[in-house]
Amino acid sequence: MKLTWKTCLRAGITVVLVYLACTYWKDLVKVVSLALGAASPLIIGAVVAYVANILMGFYERHFFVKSKKPIVKKIRRPVCMALAFLTAMLAIVWMLTTVIPELIKCVELIIASLPNALNKAYAWLDERIQLGSLLKEMNLALPDANSDWKKAIGSTLNIVLTGVGGAAKVAVNAVSSVFSTVVTTFLAVVFAIYLLIGKESLGAQFIRLSRTYLGDTFTDRALYVLRVVDESFHSFIVGQCTEALILGALCLIGMVIFGFKNALTISIMVGFTALIPIAGAYIAAAAGAFMLFVESPLSALLFLVFLIVLQQIEGNLIFPRVVGESIGLPGVWVLAAVTIGGGVMGVMGMLIGVPLASAAYRLISRDTRAREMGKSLFDMPHEERKKNALFK
């Protein structure tokens, strides 16, 4: 490689920046945190705009698309944007009035049913394998039916909640007052509206600036990566929400037909946990079976069979036809993304980790195939990149 003064200058600037970052790391973190805090309404607004754009795009594709009247073209964007925000508000109201109360009811039922369920399980095992005699021989004992289960459950919950106390303090400090929350929400919504109204012009401006100051090569590669990430997040959001609604509705219909108790509560829990890939199905199955086990162990067993059959029908027949190809990520990588994302950021990490892993999987698979063909991924047209994907 030919050594030029530009190369030496870039190397020198890089060394100086790395040295300053390492020396003043704490101050740098404070500055970045302050900047992120100040820009939080804009960041939230961008997230709101991205989600609302999915709904707005759906309405725009169906709002008098064949009409050539100027008035229709003029009002299409405002009307579709208003419908998108109205849909989102109705979904939030429905969650606050129906979903969250039913989830709270589900947790309360599980806690209230735990003592009776444990006693029933102990009696059932003692009847078949003489568990009491076996425990006596091992110098072990289980608490009897008169034990203070609620006190034990409360102690366990206190231990669990102590572990997440730091996160709760961070949340309380972040949202220190109702006024601050209202102002942040208002600014975020206003910023989201501005982004949605002029998304084409804003996109063209950013591309123009990037091409001018960063070059065509960097811009083209960045746009391709962003396109793949957008495809992954769009497919994940639409796919998981649609799957959750379909699965919850089918579960409610099936439970009502077969006469299961707490049909609405369990069905809402099944639909809500379906938003979490892989892990959600096990959580719903375990919680629903436990709630039914208290009433009848046979009902719990039949519910597990019903839920397994329902998930197979929904996943193999209904979901592919309604949603089509979703995130395109093999199950083992979905599990890895859920595990790592959940360990880093909790439930939010589970939701974000899967589409990010899907985007990385697509980019790596297509780049691998392009290199095997002796080409560069970014030198190939977008459709050819997709066709040459190594992993389907």
- For 368-387, give one letter per residue: b (16+ CB within 10 A) or e: ebbeeeeeebbebeeeebee
Q: Give whichever of 89-98, 147-156, 274-283, 293-302 has the largest mean pLDDT.
A: 89-98
Q: What is the mean pLDDT of residues 28-45?
A: 84
Residues 6+ apart with CB under 8 A from 44: 184, 185, 188
> Is pLDDT above 50 for 316?
yes
Report if pTM > 0.95: no
pLDDT band at 145 (very low <50, low <70, confident <90, very high): very low
pLDDT of res. 240: 81
pLDDT band at 175 (very low <50, low <70, confident <90, very high): very low
**Which tens digit of pLDDT belongs to each residue from 90-138?**
988 888 887 788 778 777 777 776 666 666 665 655 555 555 555 555 5
**Which tens digit of pLDDT belongs to each residue from 37-52?**
888 888 888 889 998 9
Rounded CA gap, 19 and 2, in Å? 26
**Which tens digit of pLDDT belongs to each residue from 361-371?**
888 888 788 77
The letter for the amino acid at 335 is L
The rounded percent of the chain whose pLDDT value lies above 70 is: 74
Pick from 128-137, 293-302, 331-340: least confident = 128-137
